[in-house]
Amino acid sequence: MIAVCLLATLPAVAQRGAPNVTFGHIHINSADPDKTVAFWTDIIGLATWSRDSLNGVSTLGVLILITPSAPSGPSAGSAIDHIGFKVPDLQPFIAKLAKTSYKSFQPAADQLMIDGPDGVRIELAEDSSMYAPLQFDHIHFYATRPSDVQAWYAKLFGARPAGEDQPNTSLIAGAALTFAHADSVSPTAGRAIDHIAFEIKNLESFCQKLAADGIKFDTPYQVLPQLKFSSAFLTDPSGARIELTEGLAH
C-alpha cells in the first residue's frame, strides 16, 4: 500500500533528471574499518580512497564509503541484498578466499557470491571479454512489490528498462538496478549496506521539484561545507535508504 501511495504522487516526475543523474556511491557500516578496507583491497582489488573526513575504497565505476559503526544486520535480508561487480576470471578470487574465513558460494558457474566483513554480500560475475580487472556492475534490490519499486526509480530518477531480456533490471548512468521479489525485507538504514547514493546536478532545484510533487525527504537538502558537498536523504518504497549528493563524484 505504501508503494502504491508513493507512486500515485508522481505523475509529474516521470523521466525527470535522467540527464542529470548518475550513480554516486555505496555507504557501508563496519565494526572494524581497517579489516574492511583490507578485505576490499587485498581480496577484491579496490584502491583506498579518502577526502577530508570521508574514507573508503574505489574502483572503476564506484566509490564505497565506510562508516565506523557496527551494523544492525547483514545486507542479505534487507532491501539491498547485494552489490555486483564484473571480473574477467573468477579463479583468482576463489583462490584468495580459500585462504580466509569469508564464506562464498557459486549459484552458477560464472558467478561467485561472497559474504564479506560485517555481512556485506558481494556478487562477482565472470565476463571473459573484459580488459579491466574489476568493474562495478549493479545493485540488487529485494522488495515485496518489486515492479512498483522499479517504477519508482524510473519516475524519480529516469531509470530506463535494460531490455526485454532483462525485464527486472533498470539502467541509470553508472549502474544497473535489479529488482527481485521477497516476502519481507528490512530497511537498509543501520544495516551492513546502509544506503546508496545518486549524484545529481543542480541538486537543490531537483529536491525542490520532488518536494513540490509530494516526495517526502528523511533529511531535506542541506549544504555540508565541512565535507564540500550537498546532500539529501529519502527512502524508497522497499525501505532502501537513498542519498542524493552534489559535489561528491570520485
**pLDDT per residue over 176-192, tens digit each?**
999 999 999 999 999 99
Cell numbers linked to 154: 524510473
Is residue 204 scored above 60 in pLDDT?
yes
Using CA atoms, how far apart are residues 102 and 114, in angstroms rounded to an integer? 7
State the average pLDDT for the chain.
92
Please determine, looking at this structure, whether the domain spanning 2-246 carries the CATH number 3.10.180.10: yes
Cell numbers linked to 239: 525501505
Using CA atoms, how far apart are residues 127 and 73, in angstroms rounded to an integer? 31
**Greater pLDDT, 14 or 22:** 22
- Count the Cβ atoms, other than its own, within 10 Å of residue 66: 22
User: Which range, of 1-15, 134-148, 185-199, averages the lowest pLDDT?
Assistant: 1-15
What confidence category does residue 60 fall into, taking pLDDT thresholds of 50, 70 and 90? confident
Is residue 16 scored above 80 in pLDDT?
no
Is residue 12 scored above 70 in pLDDT?
no
Render the chain in DSSP notation, one character per residue: -HHHHHHHT-GGGTTTTGGGEEEEEEEEEES-HHHHHHIIIIII--EEEEETTEEEEEETTEEEEEEES--SS-STTBSEEEEEEEES-SHHHHHHHTTSS-EEEEEETTEEEEE-GGG-EEEEEE-TT--SS-EEEEEEEEESSHHHHHHHHHHHH--EE--TT-TTEEEEBTEEEEEEE-S--B--TTSSEEEEEEEETTHHHHHHHHHHTTPPPSEEEEEETTTTEEEEEEE-TTS-EEEEEES---
Nearest to 37 by CA among 62, 55, 63: 55
**pLDDT per residue over 89-147, tens digit each?**
999 999 999 999 999 999 999 999 999 999 999 999 999 999 999 999 999 999 999 99
